[in-house]
Structure 1
Amino acid sequence: MSTVTTAHDRRRWAGLVFISVAVALIIVDSTIVNVAIPSIIKDLSITSTQVQWVQESYTLVFAALLLVFGALADRYGRRRMLLLGVIVFAASSVLAALAPTGDLLIGSRVLQGVGGAMVLPTTLSLINATFRGRERAIAFAVWGSTIGGMVAVGPLLGGWLTTYFSWRWAFGINIPFGVAIVIGVLLFVAPSKDPSATGRVDVVGAALSVVTSATLVFGLIEGRTYGWWLIKKGVDWPLALSPVPIAFAITVVAGILFVLWGLRRQRRGLSPLLAFDLFRIASFRNGNIAAMIVSLGEFGIILSLPLWLQNVLGYDALQTGFILLALAIGSFVASGFAGAFGNRIAPVTIVRVGIAAEILGVAGLGVVISASASWGIIVPFLFVYGFGVGLATAQLTGVVLKDVPIEKSGQGSGTQSTARQIGSALGIAILGTVLFTSAGSALDARLSDVPDAQRTQIVNTVVDSAGAAIPALAKQNAQVGDAAKVAFSDATRYSAFAAAGFLVLGLIATLRLGRSRPEDERPGNRPPTG
């Protein structure tokens, strides 16, 4: 092997490090806030709906713009889009760290979602265009394990910063990482783009995709606040009909128009936002369906666990982070397993094993969660869950993109990332609704002997504070505090079982993926030599 080839290989793998750090930055930010939420609630006095929006404003914008930026990266340059995304993300992190109110924090999270949407599909596209064969399998394993691990490292980092400094540093820490990523990408990641991407950008398709995603997630988040059909009493809205069904109707109409518009452009020989011909590839079509369903269950549970660990069991933010670290350890162990067996076991088989481990971990959490549980009984199930996430995430990504042409890698990556993020957004919205609705119902039932007005006030206080009021209630009235702890624990259990149910559906969806040989065994997929 020549010296030039060796230097080229070293540069590609060094570039992968900074690509993975970029992924880590945006994934950590989607989870680091979870542990900091109780402190944010106290500092900014935000409601439970605002709690969901602090999470979902980021995820909603993230999911809505992935397709747009995936296509733009193909056209204008993937490295350029990655750099721009990191800069936008870091700048908006400054605004989030300085936010004086809940609404301004949510606005900053929206801007972070824009930056994150530039980064995620671009990292996938760069890996897809840079690596081949066995190297690609290893690169995807690194990428996927980074996501799985950072889901848990985020809470640990957030817990440390919140406990010893301030929740604001959970956002401020993005600045030095952003600077390091920009320097590393400029030095080690080669520019690439699709030379065939010509003509005007599909602005109409972009607008329709944003409207479809945004209205869907809005409806799921605000259904509990406004009412799923008729407007709730006391809510300021001019119509008897809730805005939620209106939002869902817009979702359906905009989604249909998006598909029709894209097919029309394709028939006219123009480039649509989403390359619909990619869905003729069975692995791409079925893999995206499976990825979206799996994501419904994968990350939604991360919303409820930190709230339960701190508000019911009494752990502080740092202790909560250490408990959730078991998830990261499981994910990193899975990366070693995937590296050892990824080229000897079919990727689809590894995906199924991973999802089965996730089901076991989440369902196990649902069984052991109670108001008197200890960290020792929680950690093993978190480890199993993290092990499953580490296996399934990377290998499912490889399955989805393995047959996508290089010149369409940005659109393919954007579609795959969109499927995951929509699934994640729906999961957080649905499981968040399950958590808060069931907590309110369970607490109301347990306080049946309390006068109606007082009971309603207690229930609303617990739900609106996302459980943060429970410790104070326990000090004022031990009986009421115990009832609130049991009710919130039951709600967390229901949320875990709902997540396990989605994962079971995801496992069933993978049955349509069939079997495939490890990528380096397929003809024409030998590693590049320089």
Structure 2
Amino acid sequence: MSSSPHSTVSSDRYVKYRWWGLLAISLGVAIIIMDATIVSVAVPSIVEDLGISSTEIQWVQEIYTLLFAALLLTWGRIADRVGRRRIMAIGIIIFVAASVLCAVADNGAVLIAGRALQGLGGSMILPTTLALLNANFSGRERGIAFAVWGSTIGGMAAVGPLLGGWLTENASWRWAFGINIPVGALVLLGLLLFVAESSEKVSGALQRLDVVGALLSILGFGALVFGLIEGRNYGWWTATADAPFSVGGISPVPFAFAVAILVLTAFVLWERSRTAAGKGVVLDLSLFRIPSFANGNVTALIVSFGEFGLILSLPLWFQNVLGYTAFEAGLALVPLAAGSFLASGAVAGLSRRLSPIVVVRIGLGLEILAIATLALLIRPDSTGWLTSPILLVYGMGVGLATAQLTSVVLADVPLDRSGQGSATQSTARQTGSALGIAVLGTAFFTTLQLGTESRLSDALAASPSLQPLVDSVTATSGGNIASLAADPQTAFIADAARAAMTDGASLAGWIAAGALVIGLLTSLRIRTSVAAQDSVSEERTTAGE
């Protein structure tokens, strides 16, 4: 199996303006990450305006993540073949068109269709951004480029709720999607002007697209992410009232996991057989013989699990416990974004003295310290003076760990297979994120429900008619706490719910911190030989200039 890197454009202009190209690529990442979080704060306005059901709004939020994660691997491979810039540009066009569809939607079905198309476009964008950075930067500059990329992910995850809240309160929820139109146009223009095309040059049997492998990966990862996302809603084993079907009282979620295991096993066997026959594959399993790639992906999955602990629970805690508006809750997360962007500026100096994996470990250490501190100190009467410095430190950790971990994972991957490597790493991250949302979400909402009930056990025993009000706290994710607090007769329920939600956020934080500790330990298996390779690449780059 032989292949070689092929650049369709290699002019001095692309080298000269490569940092403008980095800006375009980072903006492309920004809109897909922002859209994963921006909708959450617009949900109440969407429900009020369109009158859609709870099931429809659930799919508005989740169809994006489902398709996004399921298609990453396939598009990463296709991009290697037909051109990474080309696939990213097509993805941007699809994403912007889908955003227009979402912005003009007049019913739930159209909005869900638009979100599905956004997931499709996003799955074309994310793996190609990494592959393009890998192809257009080398040595120490590559580390800086990855730092900007990683900080954009961490920062936009926090900026999304802020921008969504501001647009929803001051304009319309439709502008939460409409903002993607001008940004997408800038990304497309920047790609065409400042980013060189790169692709893989192959011949013979390797030219044939692995259609069966692509379908197996889509079905397998789609079923896995579906199970992780829907476990809390449909039941991890016993079907809930919201489950679309049940077999003998068993939820669809275990069946989804069974399908995922069977299909992904078949996918691995299929890819191995095609590799042995010298045919093209969706995922070259030989990449996992590269220690930094194999161990780095395991670490990336675990770290993504932990990093979503705060993003999941904090916006709800700010709004429903502290009484912040959607915009104020987004504003409270700004220190996280600021810390993430500050870290990208520090990477250049750190990379001169430390290897990428050491920077990753420093970042993970800061994240663990921040999350554990927050989990220990938050109270129902806490203020932004407590959370802001902690989130700043956490954001710096995210900025250091996320970007440099990407650099470590891809450092030893051959350039011609960078699309596969990028997509695999992105799939590991998305799977970890979905797992984190599933586990941390279950811990958060279970603590909210059980904690509220335990604090009100005497009142419920004396007056069972209060049970529906207590149940409504969990059903609305704490959204009705303010209305309960406004009524003197139910204010005591609101007080119990605030305390229980704080306990839930604290528990989610401790679990996230534990996951990050495991991620830090797994990072010890990654060898630091990457630093030497980067040094060689830097010397070659300097000599070439």
**TM superposition score normalised by structure 2:** 0.91
> Contact (CA 8 Å) 2:229, 2:434: kept in 1 or not?
no
Distance change >3 Å, CA 110–CA 236, structure 1 → 2: closer
Q: Does 1:457 align with 2:478?
A: no
Partner residue, 2:251: 242
1:435 is displaced (CA, Å) by 1.9
d(CA) in 2 for partners of 1:188 and 1:235? Answer: 48
Partner residue, 2:409: 400
Partner residue, 1:207: 215
Letter paired with 2:483: A
Letter paired with 1:126: L
d(CA) in 2 for partners of 1:301 and 1:138? Answer: 26
Partner residue, 1:363: 372
Which has the higher mean CA deviation after the structures are superposed, 310-319 or 514-523? Answer: 514-523
d(CA) in 2 for partners of 1:217 and 1:57? Answer: 10
> Contact (CA 8 Å) 2:40, 2:161: kept in 1 or not?
yes
Partner residue, 2:452: 443
Partner residue, 2:142: 136
d(CA) in 1 for partners of 2:171 and 2:538? Answer: 54
Which has the higher mean CA deviation after the structures are superposed, 373-382 or 424-433? Answer: 424-433
1:38 is displaced (CA, Å) by 4.5
d(CA) in 2 for partners of 1:84 and 1:246? Answer: 34
The size of the alignment, in residue pairs, is 527
> Contact (CA 8 Å) 2:296, 2:526: kept in 1 or not?
yes
Distance change >3 Å, CA 21–CA 325, structure 1 → 2: same
Distance change >3 Å, CA 185–CA 478, structure 1 → 2: same
Partner residue, 1:286: 295
Which one of 68, 72, 91 corresponds to residue 66 of structure 1? 72
Which has the higher mean CA deviation after the structures are superposed, 228-237 or 111-120? Answer: 228-237
Which has the higher mean CA deviation after the structures are superposed, 407-416 or 8-17? Answer: 8-17
Aligned ranges for residues 103-502 of structure 1 at < 5 Å? 104-196=110-202, 198-232=206-240, 237-240=245-248, 241-448=250-457, 449-450=459-460, 454-476=465-487, 477-502=490-515
d(CA) in 2 for partners of 1:368 and 1:108? Answer: 41
d(CA) in 1 for partners of 2:345 and 2:193? Answer: 28
Letter paired with 2:40: N
> Contact (CA 8 Å) 1:363, 1:500: kept in 2 or not?
yes
> Contact (CA 8 Å) 2:75, 2:124: kept in 1 or not?
yes
1:231 is displaced (CA, Å) by 2.6
d(CA) in 1 for partners of 2:88 and 2:502? Answer: 41
1:339 is displaced (CA, Å) by 1.2
Aligned ranges for residues 14-93 of structure 1 at < 5 Å? 14-40=20-46, 42-43=48-49, 53-93=59-99
1:172 is displaced (CA, Å) by 1.1
Which has the higher mean CA deviation after the structures are superposed, 269-278 or 140-149? Answer: 140-149
1:58 is displaced (CA, Å) by 1.8
Deviations 1:98-126 (A, max 9, x none): 33455543443222111111001101111
d(CA) in 2 for partners of 1:460 and 1:103? Answer: 29
1:278 is displaced (CA, Å) by 0.7
> Contact (CA 8 Å) 2:14, 2:196: kept in 1 or not?
no
1:446 is displaced (CA, Å) by 2.1
Deviations 1:469-518 (A, max 9, x none): 11112112211111122222221222222211211111111011022335
d(CA) in 2 for partners of 1:176 and 1:22? Answer: 12
Measured on the aligned residues, the alpha-carbon RMSD in Å equals 2.3
1:48 is displaced (CA, Å) by 7.3
Partner residue, 2:7: none
Deviations 1:148-186 (A, max 9, x none): 222222222222212211222111100111111111211
SS in 2 for 1:230: coil
> Contact (CA 8 Å) 1:344, 1:518: kept in 2 or not?
no
SS in 2 for 1:526: helix
1:309 is displaced (CA, Å) by 0.7
Partner residue, 1:526: 540
d(CA) in 2 for partners of 1:14 and 1:80? Answer: 18
Distance change >3 Å, CA 210–CA 372, structure 1 → 2: same
> Contact (CA 8 Å) 2:313, 2:505: kept in 1 or not?
yes
Q: Percent identity?
A: 53
Distance change >3 Å, CA 386–CA 102, structure 1 → 2: farther
Distance change >3 Å, CA 47–CA 382, structure 1 → 2: farther
Distance change >3 Å, CA 394–CA 278, structure 1 → 2: same
Q: Does 1:507 align with 2:507?
A: no
> Contact (CA 8 Å) 1:70, 1:122: kept in 2 or not?
yes
SS in 2 for 1:245: helix
d(CA) in 1 for partners of 2:538 and 2:422? Answer: 22
1:422 is displaced (CA, Å) by 1.2
1:212 is displaced (CA, Å) by 1.6
Deviations 1:213-261 (A, max 9, x none): 2212222232233332233468663522221211111111011101001
> Contact (CA 8 Å) 2:371, 2:513: kept in 1 or not?
yes
Q: Which blocks of at least 5 consecutive residues in structure 1 are unaligned?
A: none
**TM superposition score normalised by structure 1:** 0.94
Deviations 1:442-489 (A, max 9, x none): 122222222675344223322222221111121122111111222222
Q: Which blocks of at least 5 consecutive residues in structure 2 are unaligned?
A: 1-9
Distance change >3 Å, CA 395–CA 238, structure 1 → 2: closer
> Contact (CA 8 Å) 1:293, 1:506: kept in 2 or not?
yes
1:272 is displaced (CA, Å) by 1.1
SS in 2 for 1:512: coil
1:438 is displaced (CA, Å) by 2.0
Letter paired with 1:125: A
d(CA) in 2 for partners of 1:23 and 1:436? Answer: 30
SS in 1 for 2:208: coil
Distance change >3 Å, CA 29–CA 410, structure 1 → 2: same
Deviations 1:413-460 (A, max 9, x none): 111111111111221222222222221121222222226753442233
Which has the higher mean CA deviation after the structures are superposed, 166-175 or 82-91? Answer: 166-175
